[in-house]
Structure 1
């Protein structure tokens, strides 16, 4: 199965839908607002003047939001449609940024420099079959003493949606529309290939690649209303309540290249 081309085609179609969706709210970004959430901005600080690599950047809203905070940014994504839109946004906003069309593994051969920070977030790693290779790309892309930071949806939510918690050799192949509030209807369904990754798998892959884990946090909310039956307990904090208790919906990891 050529999972890479299947997912690239799907994300090319999603980029078109997402760009005009209220979920991403591009007009708000163009007006000067940041797309970053309270989780990332509280935990990844002091980016001004530092080089930042954003893996799986989609069409670059978060990448460009880091640039507005003073980072020298490079965004990478497998979707050429998304990268084209990211470059258009950068030009429109007069923000200096580099965008590279490549999947995470391919970027290892395209990379021409190292970075102070490597960043990735929300719905990224499920598209990757091997986290060992992913973590090695991160480590190789970082300067010595550089910072890795990720904020990602918690795999417990995947179990509630009927997906496995632990990694399996064979991927899940689904035909579905985009996530809630971003064009989720039958007119925009695509075939997509995903893999489950447990929290321990993520952590161990990073450790084995030479990333010292400085902090792991879990959050009982999602900053996005992108799953079914979420309840907004506070502004932009959406919870999933199971038997009266909120489940973890997001985890974050911060580390340093040793």
Structure 2
């Protein structure tokens, strides 16, 4: 098992967890796009990309090509990550009534908080810049509070995987995410998954994709 991450601090934490668990894991510090070279050209049976990974990558195409290089024939890709619809959403208070609410009373009314698509859905050359005093990892003040995120549409993700020579075996959308992505409008279930408090069927929060490299 080999783990790759850009952050040396994250890898130190991961190494400590692995040692406490008695797991033998090799950790390599590298830019994701440079992983094939950093790993010496080795190939693997499985490439796993976890929650909150691809939003830091400016090119989903380069990510998929990298995955293709890391897999040996018959090897599998598995990813669960934020759905691009959630990536484009913000929770905002509604100022005006919608004319269709007379027919569809479940439409969010004035004064209430609604989910609005305000951020890019499709991959853009320039990412969305955030300046925040704390990170999602905890409450400690961060030294460099600026981060840049990129969203990638479903079609962009799927086609990038196919163009990398992989065969799609699974694509599912889920109405929940393992973090409170939209504070104030989501509730947590007994499994630690968060979904919209009202009408969760409105929002695809995460996606799961699996693919295989042909033999």
Query: What is the TM-score of this pair, normalised by structure 1?
Result: 0.66
Q: For residue 204 of structure 2, what is the aligned residue in structure 1? A: 248
Q: For residue 171 of structure 1, what is the aligned residue in structure 2? A: 127
| Superposition misfits of 4+ residues, deviation over 3 angstroms | 241-246
Q: For residue 176 of structure 2, what is the aligned residue in structure 1? A: 221
Q: For residue 159 of structure 2, what is the aligned residue in structure 1? A: 204
Cα deviation for residue 233 of structure 1 reads 4.6
The reply on whether 1:86 has 2:9 as its aligned counterpart is no
Could you tell me which of 112, 134, 153 is aligned with 2:63?
134
2:190 and 2:9 map into 1 onto residues whose CA distance is 35
Cα deviation for residue 246 of structure 1 reads 4.0
Q: For residue 111 of structure 1, what is the aligned residue in structure 2? A: 39
1:143 and 1:222 map into 2 onto residues whose CA distance is 30
Does the CA-based 8 Å contact 2:175-2:200 persist in structure 1? no
Q: For residue 80 of structure 2, what is the aligned residue in structure 1? A: 151
1:221 and 1:88 map into 2 onto residues whose CA distance is 30
Could you tell me which of 24, 28, 43 is aligned with 1:96?
24
Deviation by residue 1:8-56 (Cα, 9 ceiling, x = unmatched): xxxxxxxxxxxxxxxxxxxxxxxxxxxxxxxxxxxxxxxxxxxxxxxxx
| Larger helix fraction of residues | 1
2:167 and 2:200 map into 1 onto residues whose CA distance is 36
2:71 and 2:46 map into 1 onto residues whose CA distance is 7
1:223 and 1:183 map into 2 onto residues whose CA distance is 15
Cα deviation for residue 235 of structure 1 reads 3.6
> Which of 1 and 2 has higher RCO (CA within 8 Å, sep 6+)?
2
* Structure of greater Rg: 2
5+ residue gaps, structure 1, are 1-72
